[in-house]
Structure 1
């Protein structure tokens, strides 16, 4: 940004008194002379009070500087930057940016005020200002793929604190949603997306639910991720598009109730001493650690040595943010270790390095549990290959 030296400090020579009215009188800095035809800025402050004039002069100086900055910014071939510059310039004149058809629907007094704001001292129209206040700049053509790239930048605060694996999972869900939409409708400029495109996308998901045993929950995650991307870019970039993204989610209906393993089956079959069921040592011990702690698998997998306090009077683990974010603010807690969970952590006092930065744990354990339920443990031992 070009600094207007002293723009926040009104020097005595900056204010001039003509009759009973104070005026702001400042030379235009060299850095702005390419976008300002006047060598001097002379503006009536419409007051005879020196104190009020000083306050108004600071505000006018700052607002004028913002307008010059916007004009400089608009001198580019980048459509997005030009659009943002026009929006900023309209705001510098005190108007909310609106496209030409919207401006035309405003009261006549506002339209005339916008025209007056774009006039130079000689009465002619300043091109950049007229384009900005009269809405002659169209939003840039942003494709769905480009929208995703912009979304990453706009949502940096949402990924702050996530470790590499958490970030990969978060990003992959949104990449998948965009890829699915593009497969159905193409990589469209987002302003050209119609309700029909979104309904085609929803229908594609319905066919997967019907024919491929996909769940409504999976479809809704995908649809809502895409909607969030489009809405965020539209809102944060102030494109003011009317996106057709409402009422697309599926009803998830009554949820299937999964019966718990009986205590007897768990003790005598699933966790029978010496039985591995094809799981490697770390995966099996993580599963055992879940039993008496109630932790999420990722919480046990993410434990570091200083989180595992086995020599304490009450052996326990500490679930805390440490290079990764927790699921909720209430997830930060200490949990005592007892029984097989304590034994599992004693075998892994340094945690589970294999799964600390890997998203493969759930797939490994879930495959083991599904086969246990379907075939019984002896078959599991034959069917599930031991991980190397």
Structure 2
């Protein structure tokens, strides 16, 4: 028997699971005295190296630990354990798990007869077989919608996500935004269907929520990005909790009913930036530090949040810096993507603005929304009255706002036919935006970047 397989024993020629109940669980686990025991139903002679038995024991151990977690959390562990066993047994027998009511309401008589025949064959007195074939008394995870966000945010894959860096890498403001978006989605769902167990959500519930949101979109004449994102995060959170507890989850929505927004954020034209925003006297009444922040956005193409969170060590505008530049790094917060970490040369109005603010903008650190509102107040005075403006740095929202400066910067790069990888290197786009990966090699030098950016410098063109 492999020594590396814990809790696996040979008992009378059969592989068995045997694990001592931990001391801290002894008071809670009334179902077991000293040991948790279970048969794998695998003969030692058929599996002498315990390859299949080790897999079976791992599954049993996962079930045992899930049972203990439920006890610690004060949930109905016995009911949940019986539910999980019922689901698993139904799958083994080739049936979909259902509740008593769902089995009784199924109009297909042949399906019911098949279930009864199978139950007689496998053992009619076994309560797990009864749950698996005639339906269980519950379809529940013991996680209510009102508990969903809290439990989701504690998951290791959320805390330590490889894709986004996880919650531990976010600032307090970023975590608050992350939580608020998910809480709002759940709050809206509860308002329509009640505070249900996450596995009790039916297709009818999903349709009710979808119908309500459809009416909401039509009445308020808003886009479909909001409902699409809310349904996406609800589905993802439920799926993640079910993966944690090894519960069978049938997505009540099957797919998101709301289409992805196919519109494009309005960009400021190059002419508007050069001849209106940068026109002499156009921003004379603006607070100087806010005006400088706007100048840096114009001539770096950076995201507002990236500039607001610059620190002194990453601002290189001293006499020893041959090419003045800023270094965008995840200090105290997450960047939008891996490629957002980059060095950007300073040209034109951005260079002088950065020299006037060598410490950055501490008043706006982790608070780009406040900067957006202040700067947009002035941008609005320069735009035609019929142009919609939003106080948001969210590139997914409709309208024209400071993110339009980033689009204008990209148009300036397009105008000089800058190659795609250079655009990614300067703007910190996600790789998926170009379909090409710039991961090979060390990337572009600051000199190469400056050579390209000098070609879009408004002051040189003048």
**TM-score under structure 2 normalisation?**
0.59
**Cα gap change, 1:356/1:273 in structure 2, threshold over 3 Å: closer, same or farther?**
farther
SS of residue matched to 1:262? helix
Whole-Å separation in 2 of the counterparts to 1:167 and 1:26? 42
What CA deviation, in whole Å up to 9, does each residue of 1:203-242 have, x standing for no partner?
1121111xxxx4x1xxx23212321233124322235244
Q: Name the SS for the 2:334 alignment partner.
A: coil
Answer yes or no: is the 8 Å Cα contact 1:307–1:318 preserved in 2.
Answer: yes
- Cα distance in 1 for partners of 2:67, 2:339 equals 48
Give the 3 Å change call, closer, same or farther, for CA 369–243 of structure 1 in structure 2: same
Compared with structure 1, are the counterparts of its residues 288 and 299 closer, same or farther at alpha carbon in structure 2 (3 Å cutoff)?
same
Q: Secondary structure at the match of 1:364?
A: helix
Secondary structure of residue in 1 paired with 2:354? helix
Match for residue 228 of structure 2 among 224, 230, 233: 224
Aligned-pair distance for 1:336?
A: 0.9
Corresponding residue number in structure 2 for 1:279 = 286
Counterparts in 2 of 1:38 and 1:81: CA distance versus 1, 3 Å = closer
Q: Give me the whole-angstrom Cα distance separating, in 2, the residues matched to 1:177 and 1:310.
A: 44
Aligned ranges 1:175-194 → 2 under 5 Å: 175-182=183-190, 185=192, 187-189=194-196, 191=201, 193-194=205-206
Are the counterparts in 2 of residues 227 and 245 from structure 1 also a CA contact under 8 Å? no
Name the CA shift for 1:130/1:282 in 2 (closer, same or farther; >3 Å): farther
Name the counterpart of 1:383: none
Partners of 1:246 and 1:59 lie apart in 2 by 33
1:371–1:113 Cα change, 3 Å: farther
Deviation, 1:254, is: 6.0
CA change 1:332–1:166 in 2 (3 A) is: same
Task: Check conservation: 2:80, 2:142, Cα contact below 8 A.
Answer: no
Cα contact 1:23–1:45 (8 A) shared by 2: yes
1:8 equivalent in alignment to 2:15: no
Match of 2:220 in 1: 208
CA apart distance, 1:347: 0.7
- Normalised by the size of structure 1, how large is the TM-score? 0.69
For structure 1, list consecutive stretches of 5 or more residues without a partner in the other structure. 17-21, 117-123, 376-388
Counterpart position of 1:361: 371
2:169 corresponds to 1:145:
no
Q: Are the structure 2 counterparts of residues 290 and 253 from structure 1 closer, same or farther at C-alpha, using a change threshold of 3 Å?
A: closer
> How many residue pairs align between the two structures?
343
1:144 shift after superposition = 4.0
Superposed CA deviations along residues 313-339 of structure 1, whole A, max 9, x for unmatched, are 111111222222222222222111122
Partner of 2:173: 165
- Cα distance change on mapping 1:85 and 1:166 into 2, 3 Å: same
Partner in structure 1 of residue 98 of structure 2 = 99
Do 1:174 and 1:222's aligned partners in 2 also have CA atoms closer than 8 Å? no
Gaps of 5+ in 2: 104-110, 386-462
Answer whether contact 1:35 1:72 (CA < 8 A) is retained.
no
* 1:46 aligns to 2:43 (yes or no): yes
The answer as to whether partners of 1:176 and 1:222 remain within 8 angstroms in 2 is: no
Distance in 2, matches of 1:94 and 1:8, equals: 28
Moved more, 329-338 or 300-309: 329-338
1:328 and 2:340 matched: no
Q: CA contact under 8 A between 1:45 and 1:57: conserved in structure 2?
A: yes
CA contact (8 A) 1:80 1:140 kept: no
Aligned to 1:334, the other structure's residue is in SS state strand
Conserved in 1, the CA contact under 8 Å of 2:296 and 2:351?
yes
Q: What is the CA-CA distance between 1:147 and the residue it aligns to? A: 3.1
Match of 2:458 in 1: none
User: What secondary structure sits across from 1:360 in the alignment?
Assistant: helix
Q: 1:324 to 1:41 in 2, by over 3 A?
A: closer
3-state SS of paired residue (2:360): coil
Query: 1:187 deviation in Å?
Result: 3.6
**1:345 and 2:357 are equivalent in the alignment:** no
- Contact 1:143–1:188 (CA<8 Å) still a contact in 2? yes
Aligned residue for 2:214, secondary structure, equals helix
Q: Work out the CA distance in 1 between the residues paired with 2:307 and 2:374.
A: 15
